[in-house]
Structure 1
């Protein structure tokens, strides 16, 4: 029998990224490891995206394309059928037969898949935040939690969520004095539970951002009976695109030969779409998504930054498509004149009593003032704040264990998923989920996150020792 010390895998973050990694670590042939997942929420697998309680917040791809199991892509759809969950939501099924359940339902599915592992004590849920992580001279990791406990681990995986949206700089002076509970209302993170509850039906609303989060916000406000004007703005005023009205299969080749310039990538995509007018563009963009990591890897840092600067807004609106139900709600609000979407940006904001006076500069150069009762930020994650978004990340950065990726999309990781600083990678520290997308390019969609979780699990399993620990070591 091996006398090698036990291997304890500590996953910090129990949203989908952390849950999928835990599941893939433990689903195969038994290996000698114990998996700890540190997640303050009461259940694993939901995270920010799939813990939304609003039934109007739906998954934005058909259920048939979502699964925790890469070898069983219809697993979620079959779970919906087996449990009867699909019959509890009349609005989930579309005329084409596809199901778009509420996001919280997908979180329930992930939790159900992890339940047997928890019951068998192969997986342990630590319902607390990690406040500090440090590596000691033995090579092991010491994790401190908000609850005051200290754990020891052989391998640590960072699987935390993106930082919350950042207030535009024009709001910096107001942010210290205003919140979702004050009048006027300033909401920086509409994803928080009851995050929109303080917005009254007659409040004039300004939404900063026009992507999927804007659409979800409009859906939530509509469900609350909102009837006052809503203005949504972004630099380009682009909405998230629709799914194809007819079934599509990913098609096209965007790798032969690999393009080394952003311009060439764009020209190739445009040409293939133009040459095939009878094929929905979604089929080609789905193939770009599949080949995204290879496309990204062929670009140097200069070209990657160019792609982010010029093409990312267009990619986001075409890649992150809106669910049909949410699109219908947004369209009704537009048709009713309640919602307007404009290409503009905030250049000045002042508090005037219980309202905001906001000066906007439109894309044509024209400026005007808007008086609103509530401002909601839906601009997406504040990637630049990653290293300061959580205390344990601050401690890891301060001790030289992590750094930002050169593309500023996430953390610097190696091709194997190890945290990397300069040329040095740490074999016992990994990054799971979207925070690793600076290396791989496309790690925001669930299929890509799942595939990467499986790859990471195989890497970690391969370096696992041959002694099975009974439990984690609780030091204090």
Structure 2
């Protein structure tokens, strides 16, 4: 006797790189009795916030040879660039050692190109809508309600959304400003046209000194901005650059495992001192490779201590600025058009068409200053992860998701299942940066690629008993999918 078995349906909420890569891995697993739907309002999958920018001066921060959708072929992106001529005419993308740093939009096109045949063949469905609510029925199936009015049922749900945008510092909240007029406050530099109202000679304050600051400065520079820019952060550190030539990862940081943040720091310092001939980038490349194991060995209290004291130093060395962008920053700095300061913004008022601000230095000295525009580039608002999206708020209210104890993302177990306390949700998973609290390093593309590849294997194992050939299995029941 044979009877039809419901085809397992995997719903992926979020179609940036994390969601698109997971769908790609699942679709290539040769399981015909599997439905894959990616919910993403943007017109293409894979671009997301990072790779959806159309600004040609926003470049990938790692060499193209280290970026790939295919974890079995590290050079897939680089091969695609050569085959398609994707950076033809962009001489600044190439470095003397042959490394390539294309515009981020190029990587977005590469992912879309790899997904195109799977979308055209129906292996992946792209639903252009925002998921507003998700709840689980009594039969364990999920129901997703979208902003376009559609309702979709699924057996497995994967949360692959991004971090919320930056939250402006407290002194900038509640200011009475006129849209399109001066002074200009850019709360999220990733919004389309966010920098359009900044004039060529405006005095600009950038709050934050990381990669987003560098992107904002590169955009302003390309638009002919020639006014002074001051970038501030509490420590005044800015993203470091790449080594002038290719380096091999160096060092060993997991044997024996360090159990405290202080021990991790001591081991890094000892390695740097003992191998002065090695570029620091080589040591941090090895740290990046071993980051997940280093993180896993630390108890919660030490993870929190590492985040509080060492994360700013890690971020500025780990997330490196692309050489073309570094060239722009260096040129502006030499021309006196870009300065960095260790300070925080403590007071802001609006006087006419300018901001009057107070900057408090690390030494306690307060300095008044005036600016025509302020741009906030303080990084994701991790604390807003759940409240920023209605469907996550609903899942949290239902007791199905919660923040990770580190505050970096959502609480998940080693398989990527959403957790609340000691209880996990059997068919609710998290992919990409929102799983960072568990795995430690999930902001870089290579790490995300590996995590979604592992998660794909978990999901395939989960659905395999329910996915017979072409949706038909001998002697199987027609009961809804359960895990």
Q: TM-score range by the shorter chain?
A: over 0.9
Deviations 1:353-394 (A, max 9, x none): 221101010112211111111110001000000001111111
Q: What SS class does the counterpart of residue 49 from structure 1 fall into? A: helix
Q: Indicate conservation of the 8 Å contact 1:179/1:187, yes or no.
A: no
1:135 is the counterpart of 2:155: no
Counterparts of 1:60-459 in structure 2, within 5 Å, are 60-174=61-175, 177-178=176-177, 181-459=180-458
Displacement of 1:246: 2.1
Q: Indicate conservation of the 8 Å contact 1:205/1:374, yes or no.
A: yes
Deviations 1:57-116 (A, max 9, x none): 000111000000010000000000111113232221111111100000000000000001
Q: Indicate conservation of the 8 Å contact 1:180/1:186, yes or no.
A: no
Q: What SS class does the counterpart of residue 163 from structure 1 fall into? A: coil
Alignment match, 1:463 = 462
Deviates more, 1:84-93 or 1:317-326: 84-93
CA distance in 1, matches of 2:45, 2:174: 37
Deviations 1:429-450 (A, max 9, x none): 0000000010000111100000
Q: 1:141 to 1:182 in 2, by over 3 A?
A: farther
TM-score, with normalisation over the residues of structure 2? 0.95
Unaligned runs of 5+ in 1: 471-476
Displacement of 1:28: 2.4
CA distance in 1, matches of 2:3, 2:358: 69
Q: Indicate conservation of the 8 Å contact 2:182/2:354, yes or no.
A: yes
Q: Indicate conservation of the 8 Å contact 2:135/2:143, yes or no.
A: yes
CA distance in 2, matches of 1:173, 1:26: 47
Deviates more, 1:80-89 or 1:111-120: 80-89
Task: Give the aligned CA root-mean-square deviation in angstroms.
Answer: 1.4
CA distance in 1, matches of 2:280, 2:182: 45
Alignment match, 1:8 = 9
CA distance in 2, matches of 1:104, 1:455: 26
Q: 1:377 to 1:179 in 2, by over 3 A?
A: farther
Number of residue pairs matched by the alignment: 469
Q: What SS class does the counterpart of residue 50 from structure 2 fall into? A: coil
Q: What SS class does the counterpart of residue 225 from structure 1 fall into? A: coil
Displacement of 1:251: 2.0
1:43 is the counterpart of 2:44: yes
Deviations 1:34-58 (A, max 9, x none): 1100000000000000011110000
CA distance in 2, matches of 1:466, 1:44: 26
Q: Indicate conservation of the 8 Å contact 1:180/1:187, yes or no.
A: no
Displacement of 1:179: 7.0
Alignment match, 2:479 = none
CA distance in 2, matches of 1:186, 1:371: 13
Displacement of 1:183: 2.2
CA distance in 1, matches of 2:152, 2:207: 41
CA distance in 2, matches of 1:469, 1:125: 21
Q: Indicate conservation of the 8 Å contact 2:144/2:153, yes or no.
A: yes
CA distance in 2, matches of 1:299, 1:4: 45
CA distance in 1, matches of 2:191, 2:425: 34
CA distance in 2, matches of 1:399, 1:30: 32
Alignment match, 2:18 = 17
Deviates more, 1:442-451 or 1:21-30: 21-30
Deviates more, 1:69-78 or 1:197-206: 197-206
Displacement of 1:180: 6.1
Displacement of 1:459: 0.3
Displacement of 1:169: 1.1
CA distance in 1, matches of 2:408, 2:308: 12
Q: Indicate conservation of the 8 Å contact 2:69/2:111, yes or no.
A: yes
Q: Indicate conservation of the 8 Å contact 2:254/2:294, yes or no.
A: yes
CA distance in 2, matches of 1:362, 1:394: 38
CA distance in 2, matches of 1:42, 1:29: 26
Q: What SS class does the counterpart of residue 349 from structure 2 fall into? A: strand
Q: 1:404 to 1:182 in 2, by over 3 A?
A: farther
